Structures are given as structure tokens and as C-alpha cells.
Amino acid sequence: MAAGREEAAPTFSAWKARLEATAPEDLEREIGRFVQVLEAVGTPMVDGPEVYFIHYDPSARQVMLVGEFNQWGRGSDSIAMTPLLQTGVFYHMLELSEPARLEYKFVVDGEWITDPFCPNKVDNGVGGTNSYFVVGDLHEPSELRVRPDIQHGRVEDYEFHSERLDNTRHVYVYLPPAYDQEPAVRFPAFYVHDGGEYLERAHLGIVMDNLIHDGLVPAIIMVMIDPVNRITEYWANSQYAEFLCDEFIPSIDRRYRTIAERSARGVMGASLGGLISVYAALQRPRMFSRVAGQSSALHIEEQQLS
């Protein structure tokens, strides 16, 4: 029988079958070839909707997979990767039916690491540096693009000293184009926790320019406020909520042409920033008519109560 032609970049399923069928005396050589392939093509290995996460470490006893797809392994959601015989290769397949961009890490014998073979790394500002992958025809939202043909707002920044908390923090205020064009008009305001992160990583100023221009949101002031001690302040902290509602927001109402009413005021944040936003809105329902939490760390308070 004539031998079949070897694939230039075989799938993980083909490599798995190949390693399983290799004689013991040839296994080390085949593992070396497989590792060379991983170094060349990168991981995860994507085969249609199937995404194969692969880790190679002959000294590892256990490798867990955590990421955005399983709430970063909270509770019992960690995924134990399967060892491939005695090769030192651990793997797991995740099937995705829709385009996606997802971040992940490996937990090797208790140590969190990025994927050594994955060329894509990102510092998302929350979980340190993570590996990430993209599957399907995924494009960045159009709201993230700078459009030179539309009007742009501006961002003022300054330091705010709190008498209540006896500390100083950075504040960034996005003012929509209409703020300068209509000096007699007052505007609603949204208070954004981890403000500098939203401005730099989420490009909030660009997003607001586009949303306002397209009529998807009204002209609104975005008050982006940085933490001083993020863990302490954002962990459902009543003192911080009092500072926000009784000291900081009144200072903004004095400094800018805001509509100083509950109906025109909202608060938002991500992760712990989402937790403190929800907490502040629940503590002071007369202050906020809108609250937004992105991946809010509500599980922290649930664990405290359980």
C-alpha cells in the first residue's frame, strides 16, 4: 500500500491519533515534532468550530483551563485538561458555534500562566496578562473607529482631593460637542469607575463621539473616576459610596453644567467597578436612575453571604 502524503499542518485530532499509535521507542521524537508544530502554528489549534487548547509540560501533574468561557474557573467551573498518555501533553476541546474573541489562562499545578504557544497576549487591566484567541469572522465594533468626518467631544482631566477619604484621585471628564456649542444647555451625567481604564482601553471618548453622532445616545457627560485603593474602595464599601454621592458628585454638579437630578444621572463599571456601581445605586436609589455593570463581581458578595 502506498503511503499517504503527510499533511503540512495536521489537525490536533490527527496529531493525537499519531502520538497514540507511535511505538514507545519513537514517542520522544514524535513529541518533539509535535512541539515544533505548536511553536510554528501557535495555539489554540482551531478546526472549524472546534478549538483545541494544548499545553506541554512533562513535569506537570494537573493542568486546568480557565477563561471568559467558564467564569475564570470560579466555583466548580474549572476545566481539567486531559493528559495524552504519558507524553506530557494536556488538551481540551471547546466547541464554539458563533464568532468570538476570548481570553484564557492555564493553571499548572496551582500556578496561573499564559499559554506558552499562543502568540496573542493582552493586558486587559483586570486579570493581568492573558492569552486570547479569535474564531470566526469577528470584527471590532464600528464604534471603536475614529471618524474624522464627525464632531468630537473633548476630555478634561484633573486631580480631585477628597476631604472625607483624605486622598487624591484622577478624574477624566468627557464633554460632548454640544457642551461647548450650546452654553446655556445642561446635560445628563454618567459616572464611570476605573475611569482611566475605560478611557485608555475601552476608548470611551471615541465610542461616545460615535454613539452621539449616530443618535444612539443623547449628548451626555461621562465622568470617569479612578480608584485610589481599588480593592478596598470597590468592595461594596459604604464609605466610598458616601464619598461618591455626598462629596464627589456634588462637586461635579458645581463644576459642570449637569442636570443635577436622579433622572439624569447614572453609574457604571466593570468587575469590581460594576460591584461598587450596583452597590452605590442600591444604597442611594434617589441618586441614580440608571446603573450598568459589565461582568460585575457580584459573586464576591454572594460568597460573603453564603
| Biggest alpha carbon–alpha carbon distance for the chain | 87
Residues 186 and 211 in one domain: yes
Residue 294 grid cell: 459589565
Q: What is the CATH number of the domain that holds 37?
A: 2.60.40.10
Residue 266 counted as domain residue:
yes
What does each of the 306 residues of the chain score in pLDDT, given as a tens digit? 334 434 445 789 999 999 999 999 999 999 999 999 999 999 999 888 899 999 999 999 999 999 988 888 876 678 999 999 999 999 999 998 888 889 999 999 999 999 999 999 988 766 579 999 988 887 778 898 999 999 999 999 999 999 999 999 999 999 999 999 999 999 999 999 999 999 998 899 999 999 999 999 999 999 999 999 999 999 999 999 999 999 999 999 999 999 999 999 999 999 899 999 999 999 999 999 999 998 888 876 555 544
Residues 105 and 57 in one domain: yes
Contact 157, 172 (CB under 8 A): yes
Residue 159 counted as domain residue:
yes
Of 217, 201, 221, 214, nearest to 155 (Cα)? Answer: 221
| pTM of the predicted model as reported, rounded to 2 decimal places | 0.71
Residue 180 counted as domain residue:
yes
Residues 99 and 157 in one domain: no
Identity at 76, one-letter amino acid code: S
Report the SS3 class of residue 191.
strand
Last residue of a domain, one of 94, 117, 139: 139
Q: What is the CATH number of the domain that holds 295?
A: 3.40.50.1820
Q: In angstroms, rounded to a whole number, what is the distance separating the alpha carbons of residues 275 and 270?
A: 8
Domain residues for the domain of 132 are: 12-139
Residues 179 and 216 in one domain: yes
Last residue of a domain, one of 139, 171, 206: 139
Number of domains in the chain: 2
Last residue of a domain, one of 119, 139, 159: 139
